[in-house]
Chain A
Amino acid sequence: MNKDTRNGLSEKENKSALTGGEDEKITEIIKSAQKGDEKAFKLLVEKYKAQVAGIAYKMVGSYEDAKDISQIVFVKTYQNLGSFDTTKKLSTWLYRITINASIDFIRKHKKHRHEALESIAGELREKKRDVEGTYKRSLIQWAIKKAMEVLNPKQRSVFVLRDLEGLDIKEVAQITGMPQATVRWYLHRARSRLREELIRHYSGVLEGTGIKYGL
């Protein structure tokens, strides 16, 4: 079933409500959702679901888990939207919920992470026959995801938001609730630890991929 029809929204309605992307329009949609308009809330979900799932994916390293986290994030958003201050950026608030939900998820599923990544390694052996580009990308993905396991939740969050999502330090500070100087420090620690980890354990895997992150 088409998702738009399932939500009771036609594609045309979605497009007309979301194109333009002005902040005022978004604020109006948020206000409607705050008054209990489910349709307005679903428009917000449509607009932000890819970004939310993207951050969750980078935090946990799995598409399926990212989808589960996105569902948790939007349910939490729906429950607490009434207390959201419309003068602030919705994306910042959403990203904060996503980061926290992802950290909770990692803590809960820590035991299974190792097995999940081992299965990726198995898949990679299969992919050797695959196109060279895809294979290289998969190798990088696997090595980085594995290396990122050594990062603590704060280091991982700032690394994902700054280096993988490309947000600026100020926004990362707002999302994580840390001062900018602290964000810079965690970022430095995350990059250094990741570099050490890549040199120590994955330099062989990354050989030929063009990754010289370890200098």
Chain B
Amino acid sequence: MDCKNVRKFICDYMDLNPERKSTLEKHFELCPHCKKQLISHQKSCESIKKALEFEVPQNYWNDFSLNLASQKPYSFLSRLWANQISETIGFLKIPLLGPVPAYVFSVLLLVFLALGLFPTLFSEKKMERWPNNLVIAENQLISAVDDGRVTIYMVETK
């Protein structure tokens, strides 16, 4: 790795994977200039971290008050409910089987659902209309119209 490439990785040096880190370390042993850059960068990072350190000013927490009393009715009830629900369905949180069986179960459920719906969606019920206003389906007399009056039958016709 040449100096130009090494410098690209200097800012991410502490988070590099061990393999890349070791490549860079080998380069630093041979290249004092890049090593100097690394040290300078690390010092800069430290200075930035130090400059943005949270130094609590005097009396900072004096006016820090949590009005928990106003939260109490809601939070107390919600906590009770949350505990109750958590205890009741807590066993669902335990990953007994892991995600793979869950996916398989979902896919199977979808397949079964599709298979169940298929005949309903695509089957063609043979409806026949006879000349004397009789409606027959699957060997059953469904209805008959006589003088504008509809009569429904459930008589088997063979």
Tell me, yes or no, whether A binds B: yes
A residues apposed to B, CB below 8 Å? 3, 6, 34-36, 38, 41-42, 45, 49-50, 53-54, 57-58, 63, 66-67, 70-71, 74-75, 78-83, 137, 140-141, 144-145, 162-164, 166, 169, 184, 187-188, 191-192, 195, 209-213, 215
With beta carbons under 8 angstroms apart, the residue of A63, A82, A166 that contacts B49 is A166
For A212, list chain B residues within 8 Å (CB). Answer: 40-41, 43-44
How many Å lie between the Cα of A141 and that of B50 in the bound state? 9
Q: Is the CB of B61 within 8 A of A78?
A: no
A-B contacts besides A34-B79, A140-B51, A144-B51, 15 pairs, CB < 8 Å: A3-B61, A35-B79, A50-B56, A58-B54, A63-B57, A67-B60, A71-B64, A79-B71, A81-B75, A82-B79, A141-B52, A164-B48, A164-B49, A166-B49, A215-B37
Decide yes or no whether B107 CB sits under 8 A from chain A. no
Decide yes or no whether B91 CB sits under 8 A from chain A. no
For B56, list chain A residues within 8 Å (CB). Answer: 50, 53
How many Å lie between the Cα of A6 and that of B64 in the bound state? 11
With A191-B12, A195-B11 known as contacts, the answer to whether A140 contacts B78 (CB < 8 A) is no
How many Å lie between the Cα of A137 and that of B11 in the bound state? 21
Of B80-88, B95-103, B117-125, the stretch lying at the interface with chain A is B80-88
Q: Is the CB of B64 within 8 A of A49?
A: yes
SS of B interface (majority): helix
B62 to nearest A CB, angstroms?
7
Chain A residue at minimal CB-CB distance from B67: A75
For B76, list chain A residues within 8 Å (CB). Answer: 36
B63 to nearest A CB, angstroms?
8
Q: Is the CB of B65 within 8 A of A6?
A: yes
Chain B residue at minimal CB-CB distance from A51: B54
Decide yes or no whether B130 CB sits under 8 A from chain A. no
Q: Is the CB of A144 within 8 A of B54?
A: no
How many Å lie between the Cα of A178 and that of B43 in the bound state? 29
Q: Is the CB of B82 within 8 A of A83?
A: yes
Chain B residue at minimal CB-CB distance from A70: B64
Can you identify 6 A-B contacts, CB atoms within 8 angstroms? A58-B54, A79-B71, A164-B49, A188-B11, A191-B12, A215-B41
How many Å lie between the Cα of A209 and that of B40 in the bound state? 12
Q: Is the CB of A79 within 8 A of B61?
A: no
Q: Is the CB of B47 within 8 A of A79?
A: no
Chain B residue at minimal CB-CB distance from A54: B54
With beta carbons under 8 angstroms apart, the residue of B44, B62, B66 that contacts A74 is B66
With A82-B83, A213-B41 known as contacts, the answer to whether A67 contacts B64 (CB < 8 A) is yes
For B63, list chain A residues within 8 Å (CB). Answer: 67
How many Å lie between the Cα of A11 and that of B78 in the bound state? 31
For B152, list chain A residues within 8 Å (CB). Answer: none
For A35, list chain B residues within 8 Å (CB). Answer: 79
For B74, list chain A residues within 8 Å (CB). Answer: 79
Question: Which of A70, A79, A169 has the most chain B CB atoms closer than 10 A to its own CB?
Answer: A79
Decide yes or no whether B68 CB sits under 8 A from chain A. yes
For A195, list chain B residues within 8 Å (CB). Answer: 11
Q: Is the CB of A63 within 8 A of B60?
A: yes
Q: Is the CB of B51 within 8 A of A137?
A: yes
A152 to nearest B CB, angstroms?
18
